[in-house]
Structure 1
């Protein structure tokens, strides 16, 4: 199966201000976020992307456009509601320091599978739609472009964390152990037997090896030799 790059959007004005933006309109990348998106696009520039899928929210569309602008060819570009931000309901637009005093906050931290945001959705529902969307696009990319294709999904922190938890076989109640920073890239390959989580929360490192990565097969006993090294390229390391 193909390789998916799970890209979080760059930093926004809301992130910088400690506000839970949710699905609020008009939340854009700030200057730092634009620089982050540009650096992420530079990392991916040497990898021909078959498809770029983005959340419909503006901060993700900005980040996705940065990726598209650095591609030599023109990947398919798709907007996908399934990877949009969690619907935080009445929490949307509030300061994180205020939300931390709410009883639900501790549930979100310690038992997220039971968390339902007032007037919004549950984290379990968010994970279900996010995983479904990513796996659906992965299957479509495999059918159209082959098992060695690489594609990107530009989404949000909690959505990406929940997709990674699924790929790791980790219960949603443990997904807060995963960190996904602004404009970071996490890499998953859905193989015939199990997903491979290749990297989590990377914000630096060469990714050109992905252009010639072999299709997913059996897991190498002992860990294997890693991807082929070319021109000093190295396997990405978690940040």
Structure 2
């Protein structure tokens, strides 16, 4: 099965100002985020990517822009299901202010019980469902188009990536707050008919190890731990 690289967008103006961006218009990468996006393109330069799929929000599109500029053979595909959680009335408010809301403690301890307030508020359960559905459907399509050894990339948001990782690990959504992914970090998952494998989580270093290489037949976990041959 293909290998999925999940990229969180680079640091945004909302990140640096401590605001919950959600689907707010006009949120872009800040200066550090722009440098992270350039660095990401360099880190991925030796990898044979087959496809790039992104959240439609500007900060994600800006994050993959240097990569796409360097790789004209790649076109950007977008999927709204990979967009940020719809935080409803919480959108655009400061995190310091939100931390005083009664719902904040539920977001921390029991995310599966949370629906964000307001007519546009989404539940974290629905966010998780759509995100997982998206990457699994895209993974199957990439395999049909490019084969089982394909390497492809999704650029999305922190809570989206955490939910996808929780699903891959078989974790209840209530445990997804234990997962951390930094801006411009790369998380790698390989789905198989038996189980998903989390290959890397929130990585900000080199990525050369994801270049395709021969793998043993079958999808059984290696008893005693990985031998370093993926």
2:11 aligned with 1:11: yes
Deviation of the 1:223 alpha carbon: 1.3
Q: Which runs of no fewer than 5 residues in structure 1 stay unpaired?
A: 229-239
Aligned residue among 185, 204, 226 for 1:224: 226
Match of 2:24 in 1: 24
Residues 27-46 of structure 1, C-alpha deviation per residue, up to 9 Å, x if partnerless?
00000001111111211111
Say which SS state the counterpart of residue 212 (structure 1) adopts.
Answer: coil
Match of 2:191 in 1: 190
Calculate the TM-score normalised by the size of structure 2: 0.95
2:144 aligned with 1:146: no
In structure 2, distance between residues paired with 1:30 and 1:187: 25
In structure 1, distance between residues paired with 2:23 and 2:152: 24
- RMSD (Å) for aligned C-alpha atoms: 1.3
Alignment of 1:150-161 (within 5 A): 150-161=151-162
Shift in alpha-carbon separation, 1:158–1:214, aligned structure 2, 3 A: farther
Match of 1:77 in 2: 76
Calculate the TM-score normalised by the size of structure 1: 0.91
Deviation of the 1:209 alpha carbon: 2.6
In structure 1, distance between residues paired with 2:76 and 2:144: 16
Match of 1:109 in 2: 108
In structure 2, distance between residues paired with 1:210 and 1:42: 14
User: Any conservation in 1 of the 2:192–2:219 contact (CA below 8 Å)?
Assistant: yes
Residues 176-224 of structure 1, C-alpha deviation per residue, up to 9 Å, x if partnerless?
000011000000000120000000000112x223222346722111113
Alignment of 1:160-171 (within 5 A): 160-171=161-172
Match of 2:174 in 1: 173
In structure 1, distance between residues paired with 2:157 and 2:16: 15
Deviation of the 1:113 alpha carbon: 0.5
Match of 2:200 in 1: 199
Match of 1:45 in 2: 45
Deviation of the 1:227 alpha carbon: 2.9
Structure 1 residue runs of 4+, over 2 Å off?
Answer: 213-217
Residues 59-108 of structure 1, C-alpha deviation per residue, up to 9 Å, x if partnerless?
0000121222233x612420110100000000000000000010100000
